[in-house]
Structure 1
Amino acid sequence: MGKKKGVAPCLADALEIVLGTKELPMRLRAWDGSEAGLARAPVIEFRSRRGLRHMLWSPDQLGLSRAYVAGDIDAPGDLFESFSALSSVGKFAELKAFRPPTFGERMTLLNTDVRVGALGLPPAPPPEEMNVTRSGRKHSRKRDAAAISHHYDVGNEFYALVLGRSMVYSCAVWEQENIGLDAAQEAKLDLVCRKLGLRPGMRVLDVGCGWGSFALHAAQNYGVDVVGVTLSKEQAALGQERVAAAGLADHIEIRVQDYRDVHDRPFDAISSIGMAEHVGGDHIGSYASHLYGLLRPGGRLLNHAISWNAGEMPPDPDSFIPRYVFPDGEMLSLTVTLGALESAGLEVLDVEALRQHYALTLRAWVRNLEENWDEAVRLTSEGRARVWRLYMASSALGFERGLNGVNQVLVQRPGGEDPPLRRGEWV
């Protein structure tokens, strides 16, 4: 049999080193039209030599991510099939931080770049990469504000394309897979209201209020007054517009404010939906203590947060998610979160796992993005749209594989009325 020709076999050798496997369950297509790998498998396409240079200079998840965001690597077929194949082998499948290549492996990568004419200086990271949070004390108010702005201040119109009419950026609750995203998000908002035991006249704090969707639902359907806080100026502006349009300005206040600066207590209930991931493991205890202090005796807190389910894994500040999506974000285990809430003096009333629900939610967001791709690129950039596509698709696979979870933890400050004897009040 003759020797395989073209660039693709060289790419396969390089990718095997980066992934740490000799069994690539995919087909590689190179910029010269050559192919290598399994004939009937998901395709990974290298569109330019620069994609290989990204791998040479950052032979890990970050290099692959940079190449994808820059458009040098693509998955032209079914995105989920391609990403699933890529994440099923080697270092991805082992759930460990990428082991740096040995000296010999680096020389092999270097020789591959020389052979295919890809040798050169390290490519500049795509402009969507976040570096500003590298300076300053982690989780200081200034650094947290910069991190939140990086993720959320990318255009309300862009988020509307992805999230749909609900404008809810957290896990929905699906009674059935075919009910649709908007109905599933409304079900989630109502579930939170019921768990919190909301009644007319209550004063509620919504920590990380986003575009005001929970505040609007709670005020419209349960007759409560809501203070919503966010660090995103764009979120707050649209939230205030939505509140005014609904005629609820006397019942809802949306602030640009750090939750640590909220002191106008007491609140009868607190919702924290998809915000605790920004707090960090070193600060989750003070987060719980501060919210405890804002609650009246007997008041409930609903903490809805993503968890890391795959055992010990140290945070890697040089991986894709911290660099491009959630700077300084941390997924804590459910055990750590429960420990912080209980240590603050809060009584655990209920824990509900929604892992499968988030996979369905993320797939719906990816579908929205892909169906509105040209408009999403126009509103932001192709790189930004590719960041969101990569992050949401890979996250969906993570929830489906059980690497990540998402949990609603309902707690109560002691005192006041006792909780119900059974969960039937809110399920």
Structure 2
Amino acid sequence: MPDAASRLKGLAEQLAGEPLPLRIRAWDGSLAGPPGAPTLVVRDRRALRRLLWKPGELGLARAWVAGDLDVEGDLYPALELLAGLVWERDEDARTLARALRDPRVRAAVRGLVALAGLPLPPAPPREEARRPRRGLHTRRSDRRAVSHHYDVGNDFYELVLGPSMVYSCAYWPAPDSTLETAQRDKLELVCRKLALKPGQRLLDVGCGWGSLALHAAREHGVDVVGITLSREQAAYARKRVADEGLADRVEIRVQDYRDVEDGPYDALSSIGMAEHVGAGRYLDYATGLHRLLRPGGRLLDHQIARRPHRDESAHDADPFIDAYVFPDGELQPVGTTVTQLERAGFEVRDVESIREHYALTLRRWVANLEAGWERAVRLAGPGRARVWRLYMAASALSFERNRIGVNQVLAVKTTGSGDSGMPLRSRTWN
């Protein structure tokens, strides 16, 4: 009788309808597949039960987070191969009911059931977000979603992000620059696009650990209000503010964006925040920001974008990201974002795509995580550490493959006379 790895390889190829470009190491120590190829480690037959009960991405993710699946060696080549087999196939072809019409597929599934053992659904790993799918993007649900992702522990984020403590795309002068240099350049780019001047007021919506607020106050002399829903972030940011002697210039609040009433501000920044707002509430979000901005003031919206679908009504959230990373997060095409900002009353003056910059950033974060893996596991637990490694590595490949992008959108609240206050050559950012 064939060993477990050979049986798995044969069944996987039967399901995929093509040779498997991976090696498989099974729970019995057996190995099958082309020499030199990335090795997918199936540590426990429980992984098969997860895939049978949740075919596709979510089943794979649960097996990965639980430690039932792993990769030996470089993670990126294995993910590239799995992307072609799982994530980039036609949606209809991934629908189990459709696939089971094929006798070959039915036979393969029967073989997997026999190999998996008792066909009971294993409980999801505890890191999976569990919440009702109704009442999305209320104040309560947003607090819960933000806490799931950001209240993992500031020490864990320090390990991943490095000294800059910036959790958004850096701006790289060169691929071999340091992460700290690239993040400092991003913060400075945001401030220059906003044309910050001493004495102005900046509202940083989704301020994270306070890096932009500190940079703007220290380097540009502005007064900053930073808001976040994460109490851990706020405590960390307040300590940084006090340590730098900027408590008279920077205020960090635990506050929902819908509750900010102390405008007008001279400038607004929304860096990696709008992904949490939700498509159905985005116009309200943009309208609220427009209301908080003085005439002639600028908004810098730094936001991840997905590619448009032919049928936008059929779009669903990424199952792994929604369950383990950003619960209730939603991405929009950049064209939709621009339209919504203009519907809210803004004049959009510049859109800069920095997609390749995010791929570089994510690869550095993954490298930081892998270099400090044992400490990361102690700080956040093995399941959470595995979530972050998978999502950051897979996201890096998604940016590289142009499956998602990231853009900085500069918008202005023009005066009643139509004055934008923008220079004739806006790319000078002054």
> What TM bracket, shorter-length normalisation?
over 0.9
* Residue 149 of structure 1 pairs with residue 147 of structure 2: yes
Q: Which amino acid in the other structure matches residue 185 of structure 1? A: Q
Q: For residues 16 and 37 of structure 1, what CA distance do their matches in structure 2 show? A: 11
Q: Deviations over 1:316-337 (max 9, x none)?
A: 3571000000001011100110
Change (3 A) 1:117 1:140: closer
Query: Which residue in the other structure is 1:170 paired with?
Result: 168
Change (3 A) 1:95 1:212: farther
* Residue 221 of structure 1 pairs with residue 219 of structure 2: yes
Identity rate of aligned residues, in percent?
A: 54
Query: Which residue in the other structure is 1:72 paired with?
Result: 68
Query: Which residue in the other structure is 1:159 paired with?
Result: 157
Gaps of 5+ in 2: none
Q: Which amino acid in the other structure matches residue 12 of structure 1? A: K
Change (3 A) 1:95 1:222: farther
Q: The residue matched to 1:210 in structure 2 has which SS?
A: coil
Q: The residue matched to 1:388 in structure 2 has which SS?
A: helix
How far is 1:419 from its partner?
A: 0.6
User: Which of the numbers 78, 90, 94 marks the counterpart of 2:89?
Assistant: 94
Q: How does 1:255-270 map to 2 (within 5 A)?
A: 255-270=253-268
Q: How does 1:106-125 map to 2 (within 5 A)?
A: 108-114=108-114, 116=115, 118-125=117-124
Q: For residues 288 and 17 of structure 1, what CA distance do their matches in structure 2 show? A: 49
Q: For residues 424 and 135 of structure 1, what CA distance do their matches in structure 2 show? A: 43
Q: Which amino acid in the other structure matches residue 125 of structure 2? A: P
Answer yes or no: is the 8 Å Cα contact 1:208–1:229 preserved in 2.
Answer: yes
How far is 1:136 from its partner?
A: 4.4
Change (3 A) 1:315 1:158: farther
Q: Which amino acid in the other structure matches residue 306 of structure 2? A: W
* Residue 210 of structure 1 pairs with residue 208 of structure 2: yes
Answer yes or no: is the 8 Å Cα contact 1:110–1:119 preserved in 2.
Answer: no
Moved more, 104-113 or 166-175: 104-113
Q: For residues 282 and 106 of structure 1, what CA distance do their matches in structure 2 show? A: 40
How far is 1:26 from its partner?
A: 1.2
Normalising by structure 1, report the TM-score. Answer: 0.94
How far is 1:315 from its partner?
A: 4.2
User: Which of the numbers 45, 48, 56 marks the counterpart of 1:49?
Assistant: 45
Answer yes or no: is the 8 Å Cα contact 2:11–2:111 preserved in 1.
Answer: no
How far is 1:140 from its partner?
A: 0.7
Q: For residues 117 and 170 of structure 1, what CA distance do their matches in structure 2 show? A: 40
Q: Deviations over 1:227-251 (max 9, x none)?
A: 1010111001101111111111111
Hey, which bits of structure 1, 4+ residues long, moved more than 6 A?
Answer: none
Change (3 A) 1:95 1:403: farther
Query: Which residue in the other structure is 2:425 paired with?
Result: 422
How far is 1:85 from its partner?
A: 1.2
Change (3 A) 1:334 1:34: same
Answer yes or no: is the 8 Å Cα contact 1:310–1:403 preserved in 2.
Answer: no
Q: The residue matched to 2:267 in structure 1 has which SS?
A: strand
* Residue 23 of structure 1 pairs with residue 13 of structure 2: no
Q: For residues 91 and 302 of structure 2, what CA distance do their matches in structure 1 show? A: 26
Answer yes or no: is the 8 Å Cα contact 2:351–2:408 preserved in 1.
Answer: yes
How far is 1:5 from its partner?
A: 1.9
Q: The residue matched to 2:84 in structure 1 has which SS?
A: coil
Query: Which residue in the other structure is 1:185 paired with?
Result: 183
Query: Which residue in the other structure is 1:370 paired with?
Result: 370
Q: The residue matched to 1:240 in structure 2 has which SS?
A: helix
Query: Which residue in the other structure is 2:244 paired with?
Result: 246
Let me know the Cα RMSD of the aligned residues.
Answer: 1.8
Q: How does 1:271-420 map to 2 (within 5 A)?
A: 271-309=269-307, 311-312=309-310, 314-317=314-317, 319-415=319-415, 418-420=421-423
Q: How does 1:135-146 map to 2 (within 5 A)?
A: 136-146=134-144
Q: For residues 388 and 316 of structure 1, what CA distance do their matches in structure 2 show? A: 21
